[in-house]
Structure 1
């Protein structure tokens, strides 16, 4: 039989109840692995370290893992993981819940400054969406733009259509759902009741009802027995009265083995693991099994050994791991092609929907007098407190009398204050609290919103096509290496993409906690942040300056607080021996955005101290203005630091404008421009840089999307500037 790969809806119902015991655990750090595994490292005050794993890749499941079963931390965290660390560091886990009876789990976290929900979609291609307090998507692993739902950064998260939930339905709803089927009992339980094939068989076995019995032949007693089993399962899950098991295939000799409860049955005497369940299964009564205290412990055992059991089931030698394992390129390619096809279908729907909205707006204007007559009639009646039912009845009487305006009315909805009017081939619903013009304008606005979704879907298609090309290239390289062929170029030499010449560049953007401040990353990948005003100066020192960081400031009066971060806000403080290149770049950053630039000077001094030398307490008789600090003790000076910055456009791993010291910015951008103190006002030089950067890319639309003059201006020092000729 097939081994379990993904959790069922019943599994998730049992698991989410069990996860309640971990409420109150604090999140330390988040990790994201290439194979779709999300790891949240937490601290539980009763249990110590806690590892929550959410896998939306090949094996879609959730578990709390033992430390020895947690994979090593990946390399440099991607933007998605960094975003999670910024939002969840120090947050409390306050619960998990299953959405309806679907394979969707919501994990809720609370922190003093913000609440966060992680939604794990454990079906289809799998996805993880991070939501803010209002349910808006902060970021997601996969952007979904379909006619039925949208999951994209900046939009409200939309769940799939709710499924029937047999674990909350009463007997009448259960029986009605069963009777509505036209197949046999087991298929009805699997599809109409959403239990899936295996649980459908299990329920039939427990109820003593023949699986293949035609639903037309099933009587009330069959329904009652089936519902009794479902009700018993519901009660066990709600009470967390579980008895989790991991089941094994029969060994090579056909020996079923024992039930594993005595604990002395070694893995070598059994076949590979085939299933993990929250309760014992009668369908597996003859198979060897192992009992666990908690369902999540059983899941940890099952999925930790999943890959080894796959090789075991395939008859491969575990000592060698079955040789060089070929990635499933075909499955990856099929997934990308399926996503592209879905997006193309969604674009067709968006185009049709937008056209329909525009046509409705035009129909409102084309039938202005008729629509205005209807709206005025409703407004006049409501002003006299005429009930909506009476208004609807009045329109019906008018239609019988042949009055054109009344004949056009197809429906009245008092709860929404709307009237549906038949205009040509369309039925248009109008808001009776506003006139014809505003109703038409709403339709045009809706058409524009739909077209924006179409543009997002087109950008997503470009992303998927690029990723599809990368997968195909990896497949070719694999096949060449597997055949013993040498690649056309050196293995460590990647073909560089000529972004400037590409006709279409996908926009890939993400948000970071530090973007409200001035910021850049040094050439050694350390974060440097600076205040834009006195309030931010105060905030940076109080909230984000930790032991191990460095505090920098221009020697001249008037400049941003500049902090060179040794660690992220979610990481423990530690002392770092910063490279000299990083220190020099941080000093240049501190100088460039200070009053030195405003004064038109091309160089000046910068000093650096440790955090414990910075204080808001002035010396006796002195006064500190807002945003100012007292600095005590020895200072390390950087002499004659050049007033110079670069602004450029980065194309990978994300697309954005960045700016700061040239030695840090130029290697990290596809193209950049250096500026120094000069005669052009900040907004004027921003427009000049925008025009110059736009002219360097073949895809001017891309530049408009990521590098408007306003975005460029965010990285320019206050005061006059000019471009430096190459």
Structure 2
């Protein structure tokens, strides 16, 4: 099945409750990536740093992410990001709501100088609109001009037409929606009740109703069971009764593999839900403590999987997508400019109307000011104008609203509604409108400058496309000798862009490294893998290493690859043997206990057996050794993590001498006080600082991937 790329209405209903726990967090900074991803960096006083991602492109999502997974900040913040920073820096997160049961989230932020709302549309083309406290649109990623609704800067934000909310629908309204249908039950739940396909099918399964049942055949009992099932679902969402699941789908080959289940890395993520679904019983499900953490993991793994599917070294750059993107940005910026022009013109017209009806406006303002001097309440002033309007007094009829909370009065002059500051005169109010028009004009100038920058980016993309097409053979035109010379002289750390060349070897799920002599060493991560190594991968000519300390991995120094013919005649280099011994002691309990050396023994493959001596018993992962052992006393621990760029781009780890031979940069470790996950994050930050292309490190060397190659237990960087 295709992986989910858009959150459902049920997902959003569940998400709102968990996001609400972050109320009170303060906004530090805002970022915009491309034209569809907004990131808000925030600080929660109980949980620390919080990163909120709002994406409305091909992938539509809204959730928190782990700080180490956020994308690198863009080099030049666009106007939209600067606007967000101006309005949100230091603001408090006041809450989030789902609009009806639609795929719309409304985030509210409060600051002393006002309220800002971020409305995220996670349907259709997707959009992010930023409004003030009164829903006037400050800016938006996409301008919307439809007969049914308009979303443009300067206008009042208009929500789509409301639809039935199935989580609050009454039994009478439910029956009406069902009776109004002319299709089957599942399609009625999906469309009339707005559940969408997946949850419509899930409700049928939970209620014990046949999905394809024609609506005309559904009796009172069917309606009752479905409605009760919907009520239970709604109750779980309201009460936060979640048991999140991340679902994975394996290839047919992997599912039928007689050797047992393969690692999760071999499966594809396909869905994430706030609770288990019976519709997904045929999929592998992973449980999570919170829906937010499940969403973070799901979209992170989805992105990694999609990156692995593409090989940028063999593909023509997608110039068309980049050009189309820049053209969309220009279209949005032109819409914003038109909105600014319209807003400025309306403000100037309002100022001129005040002067055109000077006497009327002055009468209104003088009446309010006189009443306030007599200590009359705002309610009394409002009532006085209402009485005057009933008597046909022109000034009173022009008053639309009196708002004592901010001392303003709204008047209607020639069909134009104008807000006035009651404590000021006509000239001051007109000057305020002219000043506001000037401020909007300045925003327009900023937008004009931004659109010129975008046009330059567009022309640059077209130029690169033309250059590529003019060179018929593309980058492959370099001669083989030129390529060889380039590779030998290439300074990978200084490269602005490093192509990703990934290759997941068969041994990647084990602990492994290549010795400095290019021999493969693999070790088990647990008893199951120890068992598998001895049973499946141990061949003539291999050497097996094990520590005297309890809990050490089975470590195999391979004489040949499993795809090659095995041979007991190969003489393994002493340097490889020493590195394998160091690997065995470093990835055992010796390191975890904070010790710097341990004893290791080595035997030939034919000395290892899974058959115990008579009267003895072998635990899973254990094995029997027969014959003499070669001991390596006081073998020092030693581990390094490095990044390899040739022939593949990947993280590698193992004994320092071996890793330095294969990596462009390494960091050496020793037993220490930092937990494995924390140490991995420190290494990740250091690697990012070393590479010019920071995105390269993010793509291939996440903290999780680095941790995959680190010894168990506490560590620290050797030079710290």
Could you tell me the TM-score, scaled by structure 2's length? 0.47
Could you tell me the TM-score, scaled by structure 1's length? 0.47
Q: Which has the larger radius of gyration?
A: 2
